[in-house]
Every structure is written in structure tokens, then in C-alpha cells.
Amino acid sequence: MSTSDIPTSIQPHDSLVLNQEALDMASPISSGESKDESDHSALKTPPSDTSVSDYQSGEMVTSQSPNESYNMEKLLEIFSENILAKTLRVAIEALGNNNPPTVYPEFVPQRGEDAGKYFLRDADFWTCGFFPGILYLLRERAVKYPRVFPYLGHEKDSLHFSSSLLRQELISLCKDWTGPVEAMKSRIDTHDMGFIIQPSVRKDWELTSNENSLQAVLTAAKSLASRYSPAVSAIRSWDVLSQADVSITSMTQDFLVIIDSMMNLDLLFYASSHFSDPVYAEIAITHAKTLIKSNLRPETPPGRTDTRYKGMLYSHYHVINFDAQTGEVKERRTAQGYSAESTWARGQAWGIFGYAQTYNWSRDREFLSTACGMAEYFLWRLETSPACVERPTAGSGSPTIGRYVPLWDFDAPIEDESNPLRDSSAGVIAANGMLLLSQSMVELGDEILAERYRSAAIRIVTDTLEFSLSTEKARFADHTGGPEKIRVEDAVAGQRFDAILKNATANHNSNDHDRYSNHGLVYADYYLLEFGNQLLRMGLL
């Protein structure tokens, strides 16, 4: 199709509409409203003819929901020209003198002389898989959801080039950026094989049936499984932990496991399903059960009034050091949060998403209740954060924004009340986990909790878009008078920011040697786009 075949009246998003019936289900249940619910004893829910919001320990309570209005139309930003244009510009420019890539986009400073441009990190860093993963999420849209991958134009009538050219460019860029990642499939020096391999290599297999990609995924799972210890009943996360206040380096005496590891278990389950061999799934299940006992802290939040979920709530310890010989816990600490006993927001988010995935594979209710308990604690901490997290807005909808963009650590002192340090990546990661939980609840017939987690996920993402979306946008440049070619320009000349979201924090731990915060972050953008694709898969858009 050439641009001359495209009606000039079509504008971006003309073919993308909100599924209003599905989104109506995403609005929260008001206090006291009753719906039928299945009896899920593992989730400690009341009888099926009782609203979850009506009972707490057998007594009547009143749930006080926060202001539930939010801008659903804001979700369409996830599918905008700005997103596609920014991503393609970075992908093309970062290949200059870097093809095949040896460095990958990691973060975008918000201040300083390098503000606005991606910092490229060595390819062996754990985040290398996310930028190729972003390209594959866009490719998934182009292949499976063409209505959100249209021929694009500005508000003027002229259109720039065909969607066919965009698809071909994406195919080429996916290949360029994924090659070095696929080559890492045999690494046994890291537990992050899921983060590294799955976003692009697994997606390549699923979109193209490339057998080489499937074999790379299966090899990566074998590499991850090699780090499992029967003595500890867990997979080793890190080989060493070196910070100003700690040096753990022994591979024979120490065994480090972090909450983030829950996200890499999906790779093991996937491999087991393809091998028709339970061994990798059994390792994943054992690891997940070990972390429930070692990394999670039961919580009873004071003053909590929303009792739609009846089970135990959990916060987490980031890092556990086990005795490598006996499996006994030697020490609990943090490496990226504020302190050992604090709740690091992104670690909580990894736990929500990871346990939700683990339940989906295993159907073990313990994992479902763990994911719910972590999600509930995350939401309670958002809703009870200090008033300074909110910022007035002149826009429609809620009079303030920012409450659902989490602080980087829920227990860290706020250093600047006029601009509290946040982690937008934690919010969108948690939202993905809650969206997954909502699907699990639909399958179980629990409409109340399905609606709760779907609504919470959408609230977090819409608030994040309103608060943290970079105002420095990109667009496709007009090629009128020249050959059809993809060119990207700043929407406002001289205003450039390569990431989609701002306000992420990679690591603000005061003892870490690599401390950096308040920036754009590649996995914040990856999980934002993944959330959009999840909405498409669920039929909500």
C-alpha cells in the first residue's frame, strides 16, 4: 500500500477505540456494593453470597474507596505516534558504530549535560533484553493488532509513509538488536536469563516460528536451572554482593537470592511446557516456595479499610544470604532499597508480577494468595503515602496526580517534599502483575477481586502517564518531495527525551557504588508497552 492509497482524513487512533463494556468492568465497586463470589478458601474469602467488602473477621465494615475518577483516554498514549517514533529513532541512531550492538540503552538522565539521551550500557548487563523487547512489542502490535499500528500522520492532512515500511523497518531493527542477546543463551554467570532472553527471543519464536529462537529460549532455561541448589532449594541470584557496607564473595559459603528472581521463573515454566518435562517447573515451584518463607514479611497494615481481599498481606526483604551448605538463612538485607526492613517499591512489584505468573503456570493457590497479598500491600502503601506525592493539575478528571506513581522506597525518608523521589518503573511493573491477577480472578469466577485488580492496574498506569510521561515528544518527519523514508524529528525543535517515562529510579541505596535516580529507564518503558499489549490481548482496547 502506498500513501496515495490512504484516505487523507484518517488520523492516528481513528481505528483504536476503547472497549467500553470491558472498561466499565474496570471501574471499582463502590463501598457496600455486593456481587456473587466463589468461595476461595486459599484466599480466605467469605461465603459466595456475601460481598467481600462487607466482612472483616465476621464483623461489618465500611470500605472507603479513594476518588476513583481517572482519565481512561490517557491509555491511548501507549499506542501513539510519539511512542513509535521515539523508539525507532533510538534504535536507528544507537546502531551507529555499534552494529552488531555491544552496548544497549539503559537509562536517560533528566538533568546534566547528557540529559535527554540514552546512556548505553555494556551488553552483558542484565537490562540488555529490554530494548529489543520494546521493538518486539511494537512488532507484535504490527502483526496481531494492526488497528493500533496504523499509517501515521500529524494533525495535518499529509501522511508520511506506509505501515508496510514501518513493519519492514521493525523487522530489520529487531534482527539487529536481538542477535547479540540470543548469543547469551548459554550464560551461567547470571540468574537474569528471563529478563535477557524472553522479551525478544521468545517473542521472535512466538511471532515468526523461528525454531532457532525456540532453541535459544530452551538453552537459556537450562543455563538458569544450572544455578539451582538442592541444599538451599533455590536458584542463586547473584554470585557476589559488594557495597560500601558489605562484601559477600564466597561461592561455597554464601548463596544470594533476591526477590527479583521471581520474574525469571517464567522462563523455566515455559521451557518445561515445551520439553514436556516437569523438572524445570519443579525447580521454579521449589524456588518460589522458598522465597515465601525467606523473603516475605506478613503485614497487618493499621487503619486499612478496604477489605475486598481477606488474606494475609506481605512486604518483602530484597536480599537473602543463605548458607550454601545447609540452606539456613544467614542474613536478610537490601541492595537497592533504603534498608533491610524497608519496602523497596520495585522489589514489591517484582514479587507481585512474579507470583502472579507462577500461579498461572502451577495453579497452586499459595502463589495466588501471595501475589494478592503483595499487591494489596503495594496498593495500601500507595494510598497512605504522604500528601506531598500529589500534585495539583488543571486537567479534567482527578484534581491531583501522582499518588499512584510510587515512591522509590515506601519507608525511605522523603528528602525533598516538593519533588519526592519516585520509581515509575515500579508502578508499571506492579500494574502488569495486577492485570495478570485480574485475569486469574476472572477464571476463578471472583468478579470482585478481578475488578479490583484490573481497576487498580489501570489507575496506576493512567496516573503514571499523566505524571511521568515525557513532555518532549517525537514525531515522524514529512518526506514530501523525497523518497519514502522514515525520519524522526522533535515535536518541538530542540526538545528531546529518548525515554517514554520519567521519574524512574534504578538504585538509590546509599551504600551502592552505582547509585543513580530520577531518570528515564528502559524497563519502565518496556513494562509500560507490555501493559498496553496486555490490554489488547484481554480485549480491553
What pLDDT digit, counting tens, does each position of 82-92 carry? 999 999 999 99
DSSP 308: S
On the question of pLDDT at 519 being above 70, the answer is: yes
What is the distance between the alpha carbons of residues 157 and 336, in angstroms, rounded to a whole number? 49
- Choice between 135 and 154, residue whose per-residue pLDDT is larger: 135
Report, as an integer, the average pLDDT of 473-497.
85
**pLDDT for 31-69, tens place per residue?**
333 334 334 334 533 333 333 232 222 222 223 343 345
pLDDT band at 164 (very low <50, low <70, confident <90, very high): confident
What is the distance between the alpha carbons of residues 281 and 285, in angstroms, rounded to a whole number? 6
DSSP per residue, 84-153: HHHHHHHHHHTTTT-SS-SEEEEEEESSSTTTTSPEEEETTSTTTTHHHHHHHHHHHHHHH-GGGS---B
pLDDT of residue 70: 59
**Whole-model pTM?**
0.89
On the question of pLDDT at 195 being above 70, the answer is: yes
Domain ranges of the chain: 80-226+475-515
What is the distance between the alpha carbons of residues 507 and 381, in angstroms, rounded to a whole number? 20
Report, as an integer, the average pLDDT of 144-165.
66
Report, as an integer, the average pLDDT of 9-13.
33
pLDDT of residue 427: 98
Cell 474469602 belongs to which residue?
Answer: 45
Report, as an integer, the average pLDDT of 245-253.
97
pLDDT band at 289 (very low <50, low <70, confident <90, very high): very high
pLDDT of residue 61: 26
The answer, yes or no, to whether the previous bond of 278 is cis (omega within 30 of 0) is no
On the question of pLDDT at 175 being above 60, the answer is: yes
188 and 260 Cβ atoms separated by less than 8 Å: no
On the question of pLDDT at 471 being above 70, the answer is: yes
Q: What percent of the chain has pLDDT over 70?
A: 83
